Amino acid sequence: MGSIGPPRDSEDPSGFEQQTPQKKHKLLSKPPPPPPQRDEQKSKKTNSDSDSVDEDGMTAEQKERYLQQVLESEGFEVEYFPGISYCCKIRPLIYLDEQPLLNQEVKSCSEWAIRRFNSDNNTNYQFVEVLKANSVFCAGNEFYLTFTAKDDVVDADGDQSPVIFQAKVYAPIGGEKEYYFCRPKLKS
């Protein structure tokens, strides 16, 4: 005899046993839904080269624009392309504020990179904030970081103007960070 209210551990939490015999038969006789399929429109090649989609989900036009951006900015200025593969592509981390663990990792890598820069260049920059982060995910994150830092040097107005830096750091899953470089941002 079933009770009204939440089921106890010994009762059927799915409610399946409380169904009528006809309903049980109908539920059991339904074929399972098919597995999700890749959008057939995306995977089919079309007559137009600009509409063709490659295995990463990019049209020829998008891929050309992406590669140009990577080449011109060394990976630091790459736009978001909806629907492309996450693996092995540089992508902007656009919702960093909504991902506290990733946000903390980006900040930590930026702080670590400026400490390495200081050590290599006998300077004393202090990390201020992350401006932008791009990432390639492949057994960890290879970060393309753009952030500001301030030096002890005071300018003519008595201010400590922040300097924009770019750093490339690899943070493998379960391993030690790898430092590629940290530098003041190149002038565009």
User: For the chain, what is the mean pLDDT?
Assistant: 78
Domain that residue 77 falls in? 60-91
Tell me which range, 6-10, 43-47, 140-144, is most confidently predicted by mean pLDDT.
Answer: 140-144
Classify 186 as helix, strand or coil: coil
Q: pLDDT per residue over 14-39, tens digit each? A: 444 555 555 544 545 544 445 444 44
Are 103 and 132 within one domain? yes
Are 152 and 102 within one domain? yes
Asked whether residue 128 is domain-assigned, the answer is yes
CA distance 113 to 39: 41
pLDDT of residue 131: 96
Contact 136, 166 (CB under 8 A): no
Backbone angles phi, psi at 171, to 5 degrees: -115, 90
Are 65 and 118 within one domain? no
Pairing of strands 140-150, 126-137: antiparallel
Q: pLDDT per residue over 85-113, tens digit each? A: 666 789 999 888 899 999 999 999 999 99
pLDDT of residue 176: 92
How many percent of the chain have pLDDT more than 70? 68
Are 108 and 151 within one domain? yes
Q: Residue 129: is its pLDDT beyond 90? A: yes
CA distance 167 to 179: 8
Rg, C-alpha atoms of the chain: 26
Q: Which residues pair with 59 in a beta bridge?
A: 53
CATH code of residue 108: 3.10.450.10
Are 75 and 137 within one domain? no
Are 71 and 120 within one domain? no
Are 100 and 172 within one domain? yes
DSSP code per residue over 87-117 = BTS-EE-TTGGG-HHHHHHHHHHHHHHHHHH
Are 102 and 85 within one domain? no
Asked whether residue 71 is domain-assigned, the answer is yes
For residue 150 the two structure tokens come to 């301030």
Q: Residue 62: is its pLDDT beyond 90? A: no
Place 47 in a pLDDT band, splitting at 50, 70 and 90: very low
Asked whether residue 84 is domain-assigned, the answer is yes
Are 71 and 119 within one domain? no
